[in-house]
């Protein structure tokens, strides 16, 4: 039930180059034994597919730098897009050996989605204490500033980030962080696009796309990171969705609804060749409660009134149609 037999795979993002789908995903060796150790050993794997189901593994796309640098310990989740100059850009999260609890953002470039080079002239983007919690501002164990999702809106580029507000309940400070650029090179950190105290300690792996003519914001949060008020009515984490009116907010995150429970996590919406939108997520927990770490097959999504839902998905059982997790080469 895993994409790779020798490595855990988890958070992912996708690129359609017009010929193939490219999956990029965090990965770490299963030799670590304890899957919780994977986070500080993460690099970026790469596979290609014609149908989002059968994948061929390529060489790893991106690994931590030699350092000393902000990204010399682990590479975490990001997103990719093609800029006006034709270069692919990978906006990614980095963690350092010197300050592993602090998350920062930078960019790498590629002409072919295979060979990536760090943009050494690009600034490293950090959380601005004007609006965002810094390490030591609360008992939260890290400086949350990661998972950049970059999109074009109007005349500017906008980066949405997993971030935490300076104020609010500990497990309610999760907000949609925001930065703006005119050229994909220079970024200004702005105020968050959502308010705190909506029930989430953090909004992980953000994505904003248009599905069937309507914008939707996707994010994930584990049950242990939900606020007391939200846990009192439903203590399960998972993948969440929120219909929105504008790509630049404001977002009323308190209205979000769950697509999956915690057994499927860090979901991404991907459009297949038939024009149908699907959710793809990693298998977080198996039936025994142990971490699994494998990428699932696409599950179609559709709108049910104001709510995005998965076609044929049974949250109570954790199963989905065609939920095959193929080994490479199978």
Give the bridge partners for 211, in sequence order: 214
The per-residue pLDDT string of the chain (330 residues; one tens digit each, 9 = 90 and over) reads 346 889 999 999 999 999 999 999 999 999 998 999 999 999 999 999 999 999 999 999 999 999 899 999 999 999 999 999 999 999 999 999 999 999 999 999 999 999 999 998 888 999 999 999 999 999 999 999 999 999 999 999 999 999 999 999 999 999 999 999 999 999 999 999 999 999 999 999 999 999 999 999 999 999 999 999 999 998 999 999 999 999 999 999 999 999 999 999 999 999 999 999 999 999 999 989 999 999 999 999 999 999 999 987 655 555 554 443 332 222
User: What was the pLDDT predicted at 3?
Assistant: 65
Alpha-carbon 30 to chain mean position: 22
From 81, 96, 197, 216, select the one nearest 149 (Cα to Cα). 81
What pLDDT does residue 122 have? 82
Check: CB of residue 178 under 8 Å from CB of residue 194: no
Residue pair 231/223 in contact (Cβ under 8 Å)? The answer is yes
Rounded Cα–Cα distance for residues 51 and 298 (Å) = 9
Structure tokens belonging to residue 37: 């150790």
- The answer to whether the beta carbons of residues 228 and 254 sit under 8 Å apart is no
CB of 76 within 8 A of CB of 94?
yes
The DSSP result for 273-313, as a single string, is TTS-EEEEEEE-B-TTS-B---BPPPEEEEEETTEEEETT-
The pLDDT value recorded for residue 319 is 56
Closest CA to 12 of 147, 115, 162: 147
Residue 173 in 3-state DSSP?
coil
């Amino acid at each position: 039930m895993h994409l790779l037999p020798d490595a855990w795979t988890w958070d992912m993002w996708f690129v359609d180059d017009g010929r193939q789908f490219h999956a990029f995903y965090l990965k770490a060796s299963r030799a670590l034994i304890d899957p919780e150790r994977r986070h500080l050993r993460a690099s970026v794997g790469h596979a290609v597919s014609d149908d989002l189901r059968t994948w061929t593994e390529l060489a790893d796309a991106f690994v931590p730098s030699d350092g000393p640098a902000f990204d010399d310990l682990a590479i975490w989740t990001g997103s990719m897009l093609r800029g006006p100059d034709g270069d692919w850009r990978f906006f990614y999260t980095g963690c350092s050996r010197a300050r592993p609890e602090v998350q920062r953002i930078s960019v790498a470039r590629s002409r072919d989605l295979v060979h990536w080079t760090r943009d050494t002239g690009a600034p490293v983007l950090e959380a601005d204490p004007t609006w965002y919690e810094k390490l030591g501002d609360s008992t939260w164990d890290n400086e949350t500033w990661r998972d950049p999702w970059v999109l074009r809106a109007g005349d500017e580029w906008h980066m949405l980030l997993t971030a935490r507000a300076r104020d609010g309940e500990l497990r309610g400070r999760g907000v949609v962080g925001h930065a703006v650029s005119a050229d994909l090179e220079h970024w200004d950190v702005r105020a968050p696009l959502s308010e705190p105290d909506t029930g989430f300690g953090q909004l992980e792996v953000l994505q904003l796309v248009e599905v069937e003519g309507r914008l939707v914001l996707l994010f994930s949060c584990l049950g242990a990171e939900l606020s007391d008020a939200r846990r009192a009515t439903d203590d399960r984490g998972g993948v969440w969705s929120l219909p929105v009116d504008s790509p630049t907010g404001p977002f009323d995150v308190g209205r979000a609804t769950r697509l999956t429970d915690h057994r499927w996590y860090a979901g991404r919406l991907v459009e297949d060749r038939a024009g149908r939108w699907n959710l793809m997520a990693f298998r977080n927990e198996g039936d025994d409660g142990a971490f699994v770490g494998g990428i699932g097959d696409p599950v179609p999504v559709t709108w049910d009134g104001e709510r995005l839902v998965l076609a044929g998905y049974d949250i109570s059982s954790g199963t989905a149609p065609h939920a095959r997790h193929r080994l490479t080469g199978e």
